[in-house]
Structure 1
Amino acid sequence: MQRFIIEMGSGNDQYGQDYTKAAARAIEDAIRHSSIPMFDTLGLDHTKMAVQVTVGVQEPDKVDCAELAKKLPRGQAKVKAVQGGLNVTNPDSGNVIVIASAAVEAFLDPKILPK
């Protein structure tokens, strides 16, 4: 498989300390900036595209990766959570803001591309 796109994004959850919500927003931020017209232009089936998403948060075990993968609009998606991101605590209220970062990579088998 050959990687043909990588997009980065960030997202947060300001009040719920919800790592999955922050990760979803980071993924959405990354893909919101992308358009891949080659599928229509070349007549390619987007289901042949493999999508690998890596999200970084302070508590990766609190991310529902399967739920995030279901929300990706194209391709065969896999999501993994790793140590990263940032937790920021408001010293006045004790509220923790969860900040996630995401990398969305798309891959195609070069054999399916027209010559």
Structure 2
Amino acid sequence: MPKHRVLTEFGMGSSLRRQDYTEAAKRALKDALWHNSINMAELFGFEKEAMLIDVEIAVQQPDQVDIGQLTSVFPYGQISVTTTHGGLDIPRPVGNPTVIANAAISVSFDMVRTS
């Protein structure tokens, strides 16, 4: 069956002082998820575990993101995470820069398209 995207959500998160790219990414994911209560699985008659969840995280240092920690944000679904260069590192007069991460979450299902 073909993969069919049914939802995309966006979020932004930050790490103000620790330059923690993983924490900024987790906050971006939670920003995208916690603003909505969309029951896509039930709408299409699928189990929640059938959700194919593709996550894209953009930060200035993508190799510093611990993908394993990001997948733990999701209570169900088949999670795929990719990181890419993006977001912002904002210099501070003293200490580490403030890190801003952007997240895009796409939810899909394997299903037959009827039209």
Q: Tell me the TM-score normalised to structure 1 length.
A: 0.88
Residue 3 of structure 2 is aligned to residue 15 of structure 1: no
For structure 1, list consecutive stretches of 5 or more residues without a partner in the other structure.
none
Amino acid at match of 1:105: S
User: Secondary structure of the residue that 2:46 maps to in structure 1?
Assistant: coil
Q: How many residues are aligned here? A: 112
Alignment check: 8 A CA contact 2:17 2:95 kept: no
For structure 2, list consecutive stretches of 5 or more residues without a partner in the other structure.
none
RMSD: 1.8
User: Secondary structure of the residue that 1:61 maps to in structure 2?
Assistant: helix
Residue 39 of structure 2 is aligned to residue 37 of structure 1: yes
1:12-45 CA-partner distances (Å, limit 9, x unpaired): 0001110000000000000112222243355420
Q: Tell me the TM-score normalised to structure 2 length.
A: 0.88
1:1-115 map, 5 Å: 1-41=3-43, 43-91=45-93, 93-111=94-112
> Among the aligned pairs, what percent are the same residue?
40
Q: How far apart, CA to CA, are the structure 1 residues paired with 2:107 and 2:36?
A: 11
Q: How far apart, CA to CA, are the structure 2 residues paired with 1:66 and 1:49?
A: 18
Q: How far apart, CA to CA, are the structure 2 residues paired with 1:58 and 1:67?
A: 18
Alignment check: 8 A CA contact 2:41 2:51 kept: no
